Structure 1
Amino acid sequence: MATSPALAVFSAPSWLPLTARGHHACAWGAEMEEKNGSNYPHIEMEIAELDLKAKVDNAIMEQEAAQHKASMAASEATGNALLEAESLMNLKSKDLEEKKGELKLLEDKIQRLEKVWSSVEEESLKNPSPAQREKVLEKQLHSLIEQLTAKQAQAERLITDIHAKEKDLERLNSIQRNLHSGSSEAGAARNRFGGGLLSGDEDSGSKAARRPGQSGGFRTEGQKRLMILRSAFVLYILVLHVVVFIKISVSN
């Protein structure tokens, strides 16, 4: 766009404010109106254009000032928020350090209490009170009674086995006696039908006479062993009873 002669003549200083430029333009327009009455419409348009341009420049400057002010306010608000956040973080860190210190003190106190409790337990074990001794003795008594009951049950089972063995032994003895009596009867029959075997019959008779005595000896020996086993178990149970009563009397 070409510059008009009027705009070329009008050269307001750039260092003047926009408002001053507007007044200067108005003054210049009035002067030009006086000098050039014939070019009045054209000059009026140029003056209006200059006035509009000045208003646009003023609006731009006001917008820039508002943006700068808003930016400064935002920066200030951001700075304040950062300061508040930093202050809050410092407070939280300080509170956390205090909590850590309290926790450390509490742990130390717990350790001291545990040491004191362990020493008290050791002392109570070394020097128990009457109630504690009574409880310990009751536990020992119950344990001994349980052991005695178990031993009695074991002894009863063994006695039952002994009775069963006795019955088996008696059954074997009866079988043996039946066999010997059968052999004696067979020998007597042979003696009746074989007169030439007198000496052999006498030997068989003497053997048959000796065998019942031998079976009776075996039976007596087995019974003695069974009686010895019974006596040993009874003695063992009596010893257990005596030990229990001795411990109870010593504890009291």
Structure 2
Amino acid sequence: MSKSVYESELRTLQSRLVDMQAWVQASGARVVVIFEGRDAAGKGSTIKRVSEYLNPRVARIVALPAPTERERTQWYFQRYVPHMPAAGEIVLMDRSWYNRAGVEHVMGYCTNTEYHRFLHQAPIFERMLVEDGVILLKYWFSVSPEEQENRFRSRAEDPMRRWKLSANDVLSITKWEDYSRAKDTMFVHTDIPEAPWFEVPSIDKRRSRINMIHHLLSRIPYELVERAPIVIPPRPPSGGYERPPRNLENYVPDYAATLMD
């Protein structure tokens, strides 16, 4: 997809996301969007485009760290429940409870008993959310092994993006087929009518972002909400206020001026 077409369509879709957000607030809807998939498949960059013009008090990004020792002793889904939306909120999950079906299972961070319990309980948990009125959307971002390796190398060489590359990410190259099997098994157990999986091919990041956002908007039954016009009042005349001398305040040095010499 060309850059000009991509940027034009992205702008249009992002304006529709703002309309959707207004409907969520007005209707009291609760929305959860799960972003899962291969490492370096473009989940984070897509979340960035989805949330770019949304109100962070309405649309929250949830990206949980590794569980604490206490959390490891809890019911697995317990640490995710506090992050579920209240009325008028959208939650964008940068990875989710599906960590157990993917990285935890493949890397041996959970037992086989815990893994199989998850596959049994996940559909039950999600049906509970949907039955309670939550709009739950699940997206799986896929990428080819060659493109994944190219993106890993690009991150490793870029000091601004090196933080995105973890030890587990690198190991995923050596466990490609293990992750593929885990994903296939996960889909068999958790691709349910109430909360189906939607795959997003993401070798072309621009196309994948456009496709995902367009699909997201098509799955949420939002309507245009008439918003009252904002009237900016005239500034009243001065009431005699005098600002203190500037030399009594601390200012940030004008570093920008040194760049224009």
Normalised by the shorter chain, which TM-score bucket?
under 0.3
Question: Whose helix proportion is higher, 1 or 2?
Answer: 1
TM-score by length of 2: 0.15
TM-score, normalised via structure 1 length: 0.15
Q: Which has a greater percent of strand?
A: 2
Q: Which of the pair has more CA radius of gyration?
A: 1
